[in-house]
Amino acid sequence: MFVYVAAYGGTVAAENALTGNVSRYDLTALPKVTFTDPAVASVGLTEDQARAQGIEALVSKLPLAHVPRSLAARDTRGFAKLVADAATRKIIGAHILAVEAGEMVTEPALAIKYGLTIEDHTSTFHPYLTLSEGIKLAAQTFDRDVAKLSCCAAWAPTEGS
Amino acid sequence: MTAENALTGNVRRYELSVLPKVTVTDRTVPSVALTGDLAMPLGLRLAGQVFWRDVSQVTGRVA
């Protein structure tokens, strides 16, 4: 990850040197992974960091015991936690403890980079029996108890869709 | 969606263009949206070429 960040920083520095400081060095959507077992992956703000910045934070925390893939793999250790801005419902942080947490964190990283909302996640199909489904279920957890949903009641449309 | 449209006047559209599919084999085969062959009849011009990347060249997979 140091290599990617250094390459990014070098690119921004070179561009700014040649084009007049128009590019901004922005690490708000930088994912971090600790390769433990289970792994720890994180991107964006924690709820404490959000509140320290004056953001009213919504938090959802989904134990992996609610993710079908984790149940099938008989490894339900961990959770997926999402943090959203209450005013805009945009995702601003994700913190995951899971066997493949590093593979799961890219979706919330994209969400943070491109300003996706809770509803953008819940209205997007996620493949069944994958850990990435845990991100969608975590997004649904903001507004409902996913333990009470059947597998097929997961659809949550965006406004106007 | 059928129920919502029945009650609210057909405002929602059945949309599967970004439906991911996974064949849970070893190795798994996921896929979403168009192939190059499906895109061209729709009049879409492919940007660049289609890349196939040998996963052995991906650092994380080697590790």
Closest CA to A75 of A99, A56, A96, A111: A99
What pLDDT, on the 0 to 100 scale, is given for residue A112?
A: 98
Nearest to A127 among B1, B13, B22 (CB): B22
Q: Which residue has the higher pLDDT, A37 or A148?
A: A37
User: Over chain B, what is the mean pLDDT?
Assistant: 83
CA-to-CA distance for B21 and A105, rounded, in angstroms?
A: 20
Give the nearest partner residue to A130 out of B1, B18, B22, using CB atoms: B22
A125-134, A151-160, B35-44, B49-58: the lowest-pLDDT one: A151-160
Interval A6-50: pLDDT, tens: 999 999 999 999 998 899 999 999 999 999 999 999 999 999 999
Among A1, A100, A130, A158, pick the best mutation site for testing chain B contact (most B Cβ within 10 A): A130
Three-state SS for A21? coil
Q: What is the model's pLDDT at position A155? A: 47
pLDDT tens-digit map of A74-118: 999 999 999 999 999 999 999 999 999 999 999 999 999 999 999
Q: Which band of pLDDT confidence, cut at 50, 70 and 90, is reported for residue B56?
A: confident
Q: Could you give the ipTM of this predicted complex?
A: 0.75
pLDDT of residue B53: 67
